[in-house]
Amino acid sequence: MKTTKVLALTAISTALSLSAISLAPTPVQAKEMEKCYGVVKAGHNDCANAAGTHSCAGHATTDGDAGEWLLLPKGTCDKLVGGSTEPKAKN
């Protein structure tokens, strides 16, 4: 294998590794996030719902479900219409 090809492959794999590392949340970032209930679009929830009817991301069936949540930066949820940091009872 030519040296230039090896160097190019090494550079690409290093760049991909570094980008994957930078995408992982740091402990500080995780502390600055909060669950925001009631603002999820169908199929776009983060993890399990408050009712316990599913345990996976992407399983919200309706927009704005009071028991579905997204992980958002602290303080953002209070600014969203219908957003709550606690699950809301269904009517």
- Residue pLDDT, tens place only, 46-82: 888 888 888 888 899 999 999 999 999 999 999 999 9
Would residue 50 count as lying in a domain? yes
User: DSSP per residue over 13-74, as a string?
Assistant: HHHHHHHHHHHSPPHHHHHTEEEEES-PPTT---S--TT-S--STT---STT-TT-EEEEET
For 58, phi then psi, to 5°, come to: 85, 10
Would residue 14 count as lying in a domain? no
Tell me the residue range of the domain where 54 lies. Answer: 27-79
Would residue 55 count as lying in a domain? yes
Would residue 17 count as lying in a domain? no
Would residue 54 count as lying in a domain? yes
Would residue 22 count as lying in a domain? no
Would residue 11 count as lying in a domain? no
Would residue 8 count as lying in a domain? no
C-alpha 83/C-alpha 41 separation (Å) is 12
pTM here? Answer: 0.61
Number of folded domains in the chain? 1
